[in-house]
């Protein structure tokens, strides 16, 4: 989860595997960016900006929006459509910005600067200069543009900012940007805060233990002063330290000349601690043959405990049977792992400290997943299928009520009326579900270019339908009992 976390070294001969915590934290937790977040920082595109009268803003936006698709505008929803002079970014006043004067803009010589605004029109690839000129030339003269009217091409980020600091930086450098406290490319900020709160309680003691483990390994001549600690959060007593290992690259090596020999790469601290976890897993499975084969590999993989502190940590805890690799476990290391160890971490399935990991769609967090066009089409089709089911159910209730009213005597009319009302309610509910479903996974811009409809599910519809059905069944039961009396 973080970097720049330092530990406070102790005497390598300390006997406790769990520090008492009587020390001040010597670092901070820093969330690392996901690959999607890093890629989004490099996603820039050219947009067209025009300077115009403030009162002509709505007319210009209306003309441009009518000539572009909603999807083209949605990709720029994190950028303000209209800004004033005091909010002009560096990119807009740069002498390197490409400027082209529109034909026919020779009026309003006495216009005050306070009446001017800058309007973000669209992406450069959507509308050509000549087409924009023709569109804006149709405006009424009273809605005309400033005397220094011009089109400018500037480069802006095409993805929403992932933090408030990033939004502020983009606002100064490129174009005023809106931060909506959401991260479309990674974990949400409230999830990061929850994970940090969960980790922070014990992170200093785990890092301190990793430092002492590494120092003990170096003092014994096994390797460098690198340490690794594995913490299990799956059990009722979580979090508990289940294994700890120091670097043992020099174990069994004839020379320690780093220029000639880098040591045993399989005995790095991360590799050793993963091997200890695997050894505990095999011990839980009572696989005697697997345990016997471990002895043949101990010389190369150094899975056996080499220091008293490692043995103390290893024997102080156990792993619940039935687990898989390092799932639900966390790794704390004193130094950044090498490439080989990073791949071993990936294959060992170490958990990511994220509160939303249990809610996944297509192996992504459901709160941050970006749907593909195919998935959007699938959702649309599913919505229409459910709407058809609601309508068929409503028609079935109407038909049943007509049968009762037509065939049975007047004593049953109340039951027929109940089914008619129930069918009408389901029909209205299907319309409500369609209204809710049209807003699911879809964002539409308002006239100001800023408003977006939020994500909604059909959960409200399910609640209403459940309450409606329970009420209808209760009424049917009451009418049936009264009919019997």
From CA 124, how far away is CA 131, in angstroms rounded?
11
The confidence score (pLDDT) of residue 213 equals 94
Q: Are residues 352 and 263 in the same domain?
A: yes
Joined together, the tokens standing for residue 479 give 């009418």
For position 318, which CATH number holds? 3.40.140
From CA 348, how far away is CA 274, in angstroms rounded?
8
Averaged pLDDT for residues 235-242: 80
pLDDT at 215 over 60: yes
Higher-scoring residue by pLDDT: 241, 140: 241
pLDDT at 258 over 80: no
Q: How confident is the model at residue 73 (pLDDT cuts 50, 70, 90)?
A: low
Question: 278-303: string of b/e by CB count within 10 Å (b at 16+)?
Answer: bbbbbeeeeeeeeeeebeeeeeebbb
Other C-beta atoms lying within 10 Å of the C-beta of residue 145:
23
Joined together, the tokens standing for residue 475 give 């009424």
Q: Are residues 90 and 143 in the same domain?
A: yes
Least confident segment among 24-33, 81-90, 229-238, 291-300: 291-300
Q: Are residues 158 and 260 in the same domain?
A: no
Q: How confident is the model at residue 39 (pLDDT cuts 50, 70, 90)?
A: confident
Of 48-52, 380-384, 431-435, where does the model show the most confidence?
48-52
Q: Are residues 147 and 84 in the same domain?
A: yes
Averaged pLDDT for residues 433-442: 62
| Chain segment 265-276, per-residue pLDDT in tens | 888 999 999 999
Domain-ending residue, one of 117, 144, 173: 173
**10 within some domain:** no
The confidence score (pLDDT) of residue 143 equals 47
Q: Are residues 269 and 345 in the same domain?
A: yes
Distance of CA 235 to the CA centre of its chain: 26
Sign of the Cα torsion 319, 321, 326, 330 reads: negative
Looking at the structure of the chain, the number of domains it has is 3
Averaged pLDDT for residues 218-235: 88
Of 233-237, 454-458, 466-470, where does the model show the most confidence?
466-470
Higher-scoring residue by pLDDT: 300, 311: 311
Q: How confident is the model at residue 287 (pLDDT cuts 50, 70, 90)?
A: low
Under a CB-based contact definition with an 8 Å cutoff, are residues 284 and 321 in contact?
Answer: yes
Least confident segment among 102-111, 243-252, 296-305, 369-378: 102-111
Averaged pLDDT for residues 447-463: 53
pLDDT at 430 over 90: no
Tokens 């290391």 appear where?
A: 333
Phi-psi group of 325: left, alpha or beta (phi > 0 → left; psi -120 to 50 → alpha; rest → beta): left
Q: How confident is the model at residue 334 (pLDDT cuts 50, 70, 90)?
A: very high
**256 within some domain:** yes
Q: Are residues 166 and 210 in the same domain?
A: no
Question: 123-135: string of b/e by CB count within 10 Å (b at 16+)?
Answer: bbebbeeeebbeb
Q: Average pLDDT over the chain, rounded to whole?
A: 73
From CA 450, how far away is CA 429, in angstroms rounded?
30
Domain-ending residue, one of 314, 329, 361: 361
**180 within some domain:** no
**121 within some domain:** yes
Q: Are residues 349 and 398 in the same domain?
A: no
pLDDT at 151 over 60: yes
Averaged pLDDT for residues 297-320: 83
Higher-scoring residue by pLDDT: 144, 63: 63
Q: Are residues 229 and 257 in the same domain?
A: yes
Write out the H or E segment, with its range, that includes residue 238.
none
Query: What does DSSP assign to residue 322?
Result: T
Under a CB-based contact definition with an 8 Å cutoff, are residues 338 and 267 in contact?
Answer: no
The confidence score (pLDDT) of residue 168 equals 87
The confidence score (pLDDT) of residue 227 equals 95
pLDDT at 124 over 80: yes
The confidence score (pLDDT) of residue 114 equals 53
Q: Are residues 319 and 291 in the same domain?
A: yes
The confidence score (pLDDT) of residue 272 equals 92
Burial class of residue 109 in the structure, from the number of CB atoms within 10 Å of its CB (0-12 exposed, 13-18 middle, 19+ buried): exposed
Cis peptide before 334 (omega within 30 of 0): no
Q: Are residues 297 and 389 in the same domain?
A: no
The confidence score (pLDDT) of residue 9 equals 39
pLDDT at 158 over 60: yes
The confidence score (pLDDT) of residue 270 equals 93
**243 within some domain:** yes
For 243, the domain range is 189-361
Q: Are residues 166 and 197 in the same domain?
A: no
Averaged pLDDT for residues 329-337: 91
| Chain segment 11-36, per-residue pLDDT in tens | 433 434 444 444 455 667 777 777 77
Q: Are residues 312 and 452 in the same domain?
A: no
């Amino acid at each position: 989860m973080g970097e720049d976390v330092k530990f406070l070294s102790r005497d390598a001969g300390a006997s406790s595997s769990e520090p008492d915590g009587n020390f001040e934290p010597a670092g901070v937790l820093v969330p690392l960016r996901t690959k999607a977040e890093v890629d989004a920082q490099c996603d820039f595109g050219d947009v067209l900006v025009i300077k115009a009268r403030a009162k002509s803003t709505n007319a210009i936006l209306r003309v441009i929006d009518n000539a572009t698709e909603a999807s083209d505008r949605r990709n720029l929803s994190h950028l303000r459509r209209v800004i004033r002079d005091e909010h002009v970014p560096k990119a807009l006043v740069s002498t390197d910005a490409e400027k082209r004067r529109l034909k026919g803009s020779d009026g309003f010589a006495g216009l005050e600067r306070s009446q001017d605004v800058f309007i973000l029109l669209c992406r450069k690839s959507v509308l050509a200069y000549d087409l924009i000129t023709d569109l804006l030339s149709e405006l009424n003269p009273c809605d005309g543009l400033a005397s220094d009217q011009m089109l400018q091409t500037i480069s802006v980020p095409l993805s929403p900012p992932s933090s408030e600091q990033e939004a502020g930086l983009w606002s100064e450098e490129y174009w005023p940007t809106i931060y909506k406290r959401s991260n479309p490319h990674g974990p949400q900020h409230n999830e990061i805060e929850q994970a940090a709160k969960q980790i922070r309680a014990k992170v200093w003691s785990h890092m301190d233990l990793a430092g002492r483990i590494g120092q003990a390994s170096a003092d014994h001549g096994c390797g460098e002063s690198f340490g690794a600690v594995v913490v299990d959060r799956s059990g009722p007593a979580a979090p508990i330290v289940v294994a700890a290992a120091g670097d043992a690259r020099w174990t069994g090596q004839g020379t320690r000349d780093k220029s000639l020999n880098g040591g045993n790469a399989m005995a790095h601290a991360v590799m050793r601690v993963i091997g200890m976890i695997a050894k505990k897993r095999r011990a839980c499975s009572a696989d005697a043959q697997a345990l016997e084969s471990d002895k043949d590999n101990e010389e190369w993989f150094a899975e056996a405990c080499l220091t008293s502190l490692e043995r103390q940590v290893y024997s102080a805890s156990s792993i619940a049977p039935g687990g898989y690799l390092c799932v639900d476990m966390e790794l704390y290391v004193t130094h950044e792992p090498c490439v080989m160890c990073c791949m071993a971490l990936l294959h060992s399935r170490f958990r990511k400290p994220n509160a939303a990991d249990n809610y996944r769609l297509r192996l992504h967090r459901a709160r941050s997943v970006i749907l593909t066009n195919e998935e959007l089409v699938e959702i649309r089709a599913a919505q229409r299928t459910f709407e058809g089911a609601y309508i068929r159910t409503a028609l079935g209730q109407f038909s049943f009520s007509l049968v009762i009213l037509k065939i049975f005597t007047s004593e049953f009319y109340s039951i027929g009326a109940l089914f008619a009302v129930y069918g009408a309610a389901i029909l209205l509910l299907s319309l409500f579900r369609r209204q809710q479903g049209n807003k699911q996974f879809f964002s539409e811009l308002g006239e100001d270019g800023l408003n977006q409809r939020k994500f909604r599910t059909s959960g409200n519809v399910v609640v209403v339908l459940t309450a409606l059905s329970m009420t209808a069944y209760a009424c049917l039961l009451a009418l049936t009992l009264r009919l019997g009396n």
